Structure 1
Amino acid sequence: MALISKSILSKRGLDKLKHKANELLSRTIDQHVTLAVTGLSRSGKTAFITSLVNQLINEGNGIKLSFFDPVHNGGFIAAKRVPQKHYHVPRFDYDSAISALTSEPATWPEPTHGISELRLAIRYQPKNSILKYATDMATLTLDITDYPGEWLLDLPMLKQTYQEWSQQTHALMTSTPRAEHSKNFLIKLAQLDPFACASEELLAELAQEYTTLLHTFRHELGLSVIQPGRFILPGDLAGAPILEFFPFPGLDSLDGNDYQNAPDNSFIGMLRSRYLEYKEQVVRKFYREHFLRFDRQIVLADCLKPLNKGNESFADLELAMSMILESYHYGKSGIFSRLFSPKIDKLLFGATKADHVTPEQHAPMVALLNQLIHQNKHHLNYEAVEVKTLAIASVKATNSGVSKHKGKDIPVIQGQTIGHSNSTEPSGIFGQKITVFPGAVPSQLPNDDYWQSNNFNFIEFAPLSGLNKHQCLPHVRMDQVLQFLLADKMI
């Protein structure tokens, strides 16, 4: 009897030891990914996150993610939303976004205006990793962080003095197409004595005028280089004095000693102080508190609307991408490594709204985006960051087909219009169902000949009707997105 009891106790001890070993193995193997999603305004961040979550939580109820290996190989079990870790960060409003897409009539979800988070728990069956010896079912925790690309454009400011930033910004404001809109504002600044005692009321008034200019540049002119980014997407900083500064022209003509010794209560002293405070308390703080945690990043870019807007808009997108990517050197020589030592190992560039052109134009879309990021992409690859570019549509809004025109087969797309990209109609006003060939996307950076002969006609489409929140949303290459960003963590 004693031998039997001893055997039972021994077995229990072994089972307990095995359970602890399995727990330790599960904890030591990487089972957590923090995915950062960013892009300039109207690049489709909200739709992207909504679709990504929708595809995972509804897999098995609808369209298969055929290029996502965990699904293709039968290892995917289920995914669900779970409470996020950071209670002080706003939650990404998935429910409102999916309701907008599945309402009648369907509408695009409201864009986000600051940082937000959402957490998923993804259960899968390990197939090839050491984890398969410890458990039949593993859980990958996916934290998704959404933040505006405009905030990313602020990063180069960390390397600039107020004088350098003012000179750079003034050069932009006096160039086409910004010059005409900036004229009155610059005249007001020319009348200020930089060393006079500052009026906070006047500073606030001029800062608001500068902010209005930034909104004009972004939303009326379709430009991408907007600094400081928090001015148009202030979040919880709206109305704070830290957002009440602006570039001051002509600083290079001032005596260096006078400029350096300008009192804090002078116009130039107060502007300089607020600029420095913005860099430290807004820009650097964001990257220390959030960017440091990111494992993987997707940058969404809408190349179609700038093509439609014209040469100046597209050139500004090119400048914005170079500014963003200049700071995306994650290797030993990059600014991020020196300041924050980030751990990002995969970077995906998504050319969005691929469904707004015909399918054979997807390859040129990828080639064009690769051209925009070419030099920096080479550096990122060299620094051992895996980089990929895809043409995607997070939520497919059109159907593609072939139409006859003068006896020839022409590829076309069909969808419900919202209005042309230069329309002044509110986004909720719908046009008619149309069938169209929008034009060819250039596979190289456009030259002058392209802009003179271009007849590209990018059209905004509303979401398809009849979508169901309990089924996978129609998409273009979201399975390839998941494959690149998550599949290696689910083997």
Structure 2
Amino acid sequence: MQKNIAALLDKTLAAASLTGDKLADVFSKETHRFTITGLSRSGKSMLFTSLITMLKSRSEEGYACLPLLRYLPPSQVLDMRVEPLDGYKAFPHQENVAALAQGQWPSATEEAYGFKLVVRLKQTATFKKHLLPHTDVVFEFIDYPGEWITDIPMLSKTYAQWSDSTWAQLSSGPQQYYAETWRQVINQFDFEQPPTAANIHALVHAYRNYLIYAKREGISLLQPGSFLLDSSDFNWQEFGFTPLPSSITSDVSHPWYQAFNKHFCAFQNNWLTPLKQSIFKETDKQIILVDLFEGLNHSRQHLYQLKETLSHLADTFVYGQSNWFSRKVLKSEQIGKVAFVATKADLIPVSQRENLLNLLHQVSEGARAKFKDKPIEFEHFLVSAMQITDEGSSAQAIRYTDSNGRYVESSFEPIPATLKDMEEGAHFPVPSAQVPNDYKARILAGKGVDRLLQFLLGKGE
């Protein structure tokens, strides 16, 4: 009863100043907002492209590629359409499909994109159908660069704290192998010279070269990730900064500390704070994409670092079940459902996918620990946004089109079911599969997207 009263008050407050069609919209709409969170190369662009392709095929062509309407009975559906999302740049779906047609994978996400699926249902309740002929259920999807996600935790640190923690990262784990050139630059740099624009430029570019190299080698925890994006509105060329030796960050009077502290504060105030307020809010469902193959292809240390990164990222979002008070009075939305998704699951044989799911459970442990004592539903999923491989001649084999355009078969050793099962120095190469010619049919045959949507749309059953 209390829940029904709150729902009525919710709609009554919103309708107080409306009449006619606008009043009908308030009482006829139910909105769900999804945010797709994923680190760089986790497959966000391909998942978004596949999702829109599936939804358009279902709504415009009547292709039953998703059991999406289990919670929206097909007999009641009047209309189903994909529309732009207000305040967000339209996702480049057509451009990505054109790239696939040319045999190229979609470009990485470098901006915030959004779209919405609007499903119009016939009203069935006896009382309501006399007042309103339909109900619109709106599903809003938001995508943004993974580099933004890794930067948001920097809001909770001072420049000195960030610098010291970054050096700790650079001195351990897989980063230590890729930061050698950067450390040499710092060791040879003369900090007695003043922090002129030219000197700062030289240091920032050397650090950015490390970021580029480490990203290419599969490192996930890189800050500031925004320095890697050409589309970023933050001018890192003018206000760039790097970690500095503790002998400098401990001396607040040092000219280099003062210069980089000023730039760091500008990064927080002029870039991260507005970004968090505009993008990382008002969402009630979250999809966290994880590319386990990036770690498997490099080393066990990479997987442990991925686990650490996901744990840090969980601090970026507000988790818990939203209610009328939090939405209307506190003006805040909380994430009540979280889906951990291992992408590109068809790059290994079906026989190995249980091990992949076990790895996903372990890598997400730190993030899930942040949900303790909170009423949050979460599940783990294996998803293929496009079914680019076929079954091989044995349970350990798959067939696919390689980078030379040949249809080949590869056999695989079992992948580890746990992190400790992966031997130090071992790595598990994954196939470099080409975009298939029948890419649209393979998008519509993608695996796991339907089950993922069922969970996010479900009523907790």
Superposition TM-score, scaled by structure 1 size: 0.78
Shift of 1:376: 3.0
Gapped regions of structure 2 (runs ≥ 5): 1-17, 322-326
Residue 422 of structure 1: aligned partner = none
Give 2:207's aligned amino acid. Answer: Y
Change (3 A) 1:237 1:83: closer
- Residue 65 of structure 1 contacts residue 71 of structure 1 at CA under 8 Å; is this kept in 2? no
- Choose which of 436, 443, 446 in structure 2 pairs with 1:464: 436
Per-residue CA deviation, residues 268-307 of structure 1 (Å, 9 max, x unaligned), is 1010111122122222211111212323221111101211
Map 1:7-406 → 2, pairs under 5 A: 24=23, 26-28=25-27, 31-59=30-58, 61-66=62-67, 68-70=69-71, 74-86=75-87, 89-101=88-100, 103=101, 106-125=103-122, 135-175=132-172, 177-192=174-189, 197-219=194-216, 221-237=217-233, 239-241=235-237, 243-251=239-247, 259-262=251-254, 266-328=255-317, 330-331=319-320, 341-380=332-371, 382-401=373-392, 403=393
Q: Which has the higher relative contact order, 1 or 2, with Cα contacts under 8 A spaced 6 or more apart?
A: 1
Q: 1:134 to 1:477 in 2, by over 3 A?
A: farther
> Which piece of structure 1 moves more, 435-444 or 266-275?
435-444
The answer to whether the 8 A contact 2:114-2:140 is kept is: yes
Cα pair distance change 1:128/1:450, threshold 3 Å: farther
Which region of structure 1 is more displaced relative to structure 2, 20-29 or 238-247? 20-29
Counterpart-to-counterpart distance in 1, 2:43 and 2:126: 35
Deviation by residue 1:376-405 (Cα, 9 ceiling, x = unmatched)? 32442631222221100111111225x2xx
Three-state SS of the structure 2 residue aligned to 1:389 is strand
> Are residues 58 and 70 of structure 1, via their aligned partners in 2, closer, same or farther at CA, if it must alter by over 3 Å?
farther
1:412 aligns to 2:379 (yes or no): no
1:435 aligns with 2:379: no
Partners of 1:261 and 1:29 in 2: CA distance = 61
Q: What is the CA deviation profile of residues 115-139 of structure 1, one whole-angstrom value per residue up to 9, with x for unaligned ones?
A: 2222332333466899667545432
Q: Is the 8 A contact 2:151 2:223 kept in 1?
A: yes
- Once the 2 structures are TM-superposed, how far is the Cα of residue 110 of structure 1 from its aligned partner? 1.7
Please give the TM-score of this superposition, normalised by the length of structure 2.
Answer: 0.83
Aligned match of 2:6: none
Does the 8 A contact of 2:296 with 2:427 survive in 1?
no
Deviations 1:38-73 (A, max 9, x none): 211111111111111121121163343236514775
What stretches of structure 1 of length at least 5 have no aligned partner?
Answer: 1-18, 404-408, 419-429
Q: Percent identity?
A: 23
> What SS does structure 1 have at the residue aligned with 2:229?
coil
Question: 2:65, 2:444 within 8 Å by CA — same for their partners in 1?
Answer: no
Contact 2:65/2:445, CA 8 A, preserved across alignment: no
Alignment length (residue pairs): 434
C-alpha distance in structure 1 between counterparts of 2:446 and 2:199, whole Å: 50
- In terms of Rg, which structure is larger? 1
